[in-house]
Chains A and B, each alone.
Chain A
Amino acid sequence: MNKKAASVIMITFEILVVLLVVYMTVSIGKAYGESDQVTKINAAEELRMMIDTLVAVPGDAIVNYPQEVSKFSFILTQGSISVFNKGEEENVWIVTTFFLPDNYQAEGSVSEANYICLEKLNKKIILKKCLDVADNEVPPQLGSPDSSGIYTYDAGILATSLYYRYQDGSWEWSPDKINWMSVNTIVVSGGEFDKEKPVQENQKLIRYLQKFNPPVENE
């Protein structure tokens, strides 16, 4: 083989090597860039911090995780929160740990939910889907209002029915249609049920109406 042919082959070979290296580095960069590992780690860390904050809140509370998380699944256990894609091997799950005081419990699992909520009830922290309505909709469990525009919600045989109405741009509730409270409070003022709180289900509804304030369209 003459020198010129040999040098052409060498140059071609060297160009191929350079292209191979470029391809490998771009592939590595693309693989890391497209992976949702960072999103999962962030979600796990943020949920852990939310749990620590809920532990510090005396009484009951509910908090929404603000990011849309329909791609992921979550499992909350007594000391850890796991975030993973459905079908993923357990060894690649993102797991973060936290510590609860004595007598506290944590549980819950959610999969393919747009939004998740952490709720503290007594000393129990529950991970669940948030109320499944669009932000600007009146919760369907309120049904239709009567002729005065008052909604009635019956939370069961052990609970007093509560009444809700949309007045002057905000919601109000009442156990007796006489004493009306703003949804900024969950304590009754006045009347037979003075200083009492509604059952958990109604408290959830009140908090939902406070947070989203869905408007009522006048017919």
Chain B
Amino acid sequence: MNKKAQFAAARKTIYWMIAGLVITMVVIGFAMVIASYRNNLAKVPPEIRAELIALRFTNNPDCFAYNVSDKVLLGTIDLTKFNEENMLKCYSTASAGGIKTFNFRLKLESSGEEIRTDKYAHVDKFTIFKEVLVKRQTGLFKDRLIIYVQEKIGV
């Protein structure tokens, strides 16, 4: 084989080595794009999830909702229940490693009273506002419950 032919053969070999690598990367990249698209199809916005979890704070008497025997006043906060001990009973993240899921800080706007879940680390992602009635010793008072939401931290 003369030099020119050798050069042509070598050039083809190098070309196909590079082309093979590029084609493999394209195919793998295509598979990853499709997988990512599929994951996005099934993604639930975190705001919706947090909103549904937060429903229990004002509607469930085992959390903070005010109740008189069996009758529960929805959308109320019983101040005698509004503490971190009850928060731990209402929503505990220990089984999921704590920071790997939603954590909350609840604050009553008018009075400034605040409680938080056990792995809350002030890394707020978004905030939910709820108009509530607060049951104090002297009666029911209008207030706003601010729920600071921390999404999962780390992997």
Contacts and interface: CB of A to CB of B under 8 A. Distances in A.
Interface of A: 10, 17, 21, 24-25, 28-29, 32, 37-38, 41-42, 45, 49, 52-53, 55-59, 79, 97, 99, 101-104, 123
A93 to B, nearest CB: 15
Given A28-B34, A32-B34, A45 B42 contact: yes
Interface in B5-22: 12, 19
B127 interface: no
A7 B44 CA distance: 54
Given A42-B42, A49-B49, A99 B91 contact: yes
B42 A38 contact: yes
B52 A56 contact: yes
Contacts of B155: none
Main DSSP-derived SS at the B contact region = helix
B27 A99 contact: no
Given A37-B42, A123-B62, 6 more contacts: A10-B12, A25-B30, A38-B38, A49-B44, A49-B52, A56-B55
A58 B72 CA distance: 7
Q: Which 10 A-B pairs have the closest CB atoms?
A: A56-B55, A41-B42, A58-B72, A102-B89, A52-B52, A56-B56, A56-B59, A101-B62, A32-B34, A101-B90
Given A38-B38, A45-B44, A97 B96 contact: yes
Interface string B77-102: 00000000000011111011000010
B41 A101 contact: no
Contact of B63 (A42, A59, A101, A103): A101
Contacts of B121: none
Interface of B: 12, 19, 23, 26-27, 30-31, 34-35, 38, 41-42, 44, 48-49, 52-53, 55-56, 59-63, 65, 67, 70, 72, 74, 89-93, 95-96, 101
B65 A52 contact: no
7 contacts: A37-B38, A38-B41, A52-B53, A55-B55, A55-B56, A58-B67, A101-B89
Contacts of A38: 38, 41-42
Given A21-B26, A45-B42, A97-B95, A58 B53 contact: no
Contacts of B35: 32
Nearest to A44: B42
